[in-house]
Amino acid sequence: MTDPDLDKAYALQTPDDNRKLYADWADSYDTGFAKDMDYQLPRLVALVLAEVYQGPGPVLDLGAGTGLIADHMLMRGTMAIDALDISPQMLATAASKGHYRQMIEADLTKRLDISDATYDAVVSSGTFTHGHVGPDALDEVIRIARPGATFVLTINAEHFEARGFAAKFEQLAPRIADVEHRQVNIYGGKASDEHRDDKAHIAIFRKRYSVPPLT
Ligand SMILES: C[S@@+](CC[C@H](N)C(=O)[O-])C[C@H]1O[C@@H](n2cnc3c(N)ncnc32)[C@H](O)[C@@H]1O
């Protein structure tokens, strides 16, 4: 097959498609895609997390990939961070960097084998995007977060519109609080193709202390 790239990633349809593409991308993702596109989201998530959360964790990185968020977390040495991803190859690359406590191979579109109220903070970059994970995964992600937990998640701006994230955030209002959306550029000045102006939301919120059960 030809090398994976952003357009192939955006065109994926199913979790299995994701498994296959990222199996081939794990070795070159950091030095190819992330470097060539001047990929900013993991650094921005790490910066926002430092602004809104200073606890010891545990922190869960959703769709952690090769671990670029942890690469940028200045406080990572004082926090327990777990990486969750559907791709064992991406997780293996992340594990080799030594920043994560635990690697969790799991599909965010399914029920997660993680107890209620496990995580004190949840981060994610580049996973809520075209061809990857939609808004329904947020229910599970909120379930496994502790009361009061902090979330810093990027959502591709076009995917936000196309997949109804605004309606999902309205539906989640009884379960989350202090919701803020910041719009950012996904790529930096070195990105040189049609994706240069692509935008994402950084959604920042907390899980409420008293949460009604899911119906
Ligand atoms: C664009 S990469 C982002 C990786 C990393 N967070 C970053 O910003 O570099 C998207 C990641 O989401 C993972 N992914 C895609 N679908 C998934 C799913 N259903 N469940 C869990 N992870 C998934 C992929 O394997 C891939 O590692």
Check pocket membership of 46 for ligand 1, CB cut-off 6 A: no
Mutate to test the pocket of ligand 1, among 20, 29, 86 (most ligand atoms within 8 A of CB): 86
CATH code, domain with 47: 3.40.50.150
- The answer to the question of residue 161 being in a domain is yes
Instruction: Please count the structural domains in the chain.
Output: 1
Determine, yes or no, domain membership for 66.
Answer: yes
Q: Is 23 helix (H, G, I), strand (E, B) or coil?
A: helix
pLDDT band with cut points at 50, 70 and 90 for residue 34? very high
**Cα 210 to averaged position of ligand 1 atoms, centre (Å):** 30
- Is 144 part of a structural domain of the chain? yes
Task: Work out the pLDDT band at 208, boundaries 50, 70, 90.
Answer: very high
Contact 70, 83 (CB under 8 A): yes
Asked if residue 146 belongs to a domain, the reply is yes
Domain assignment present for 47 = yes
The ligand 1 atom nearest the CA atom of 42: 8
Q: Is residue 157 part of a domain?
A: yes
Q: Is residue 1 part of a domain?
A: no
Mean pLDDT of 154-178: 95
The boundaries of the domain holding residue 36 are: 6-207
Q: Residue 109: CB within 6 Å of ligand 1?
A: yes
**Whole-prediction pTM:** 0.95
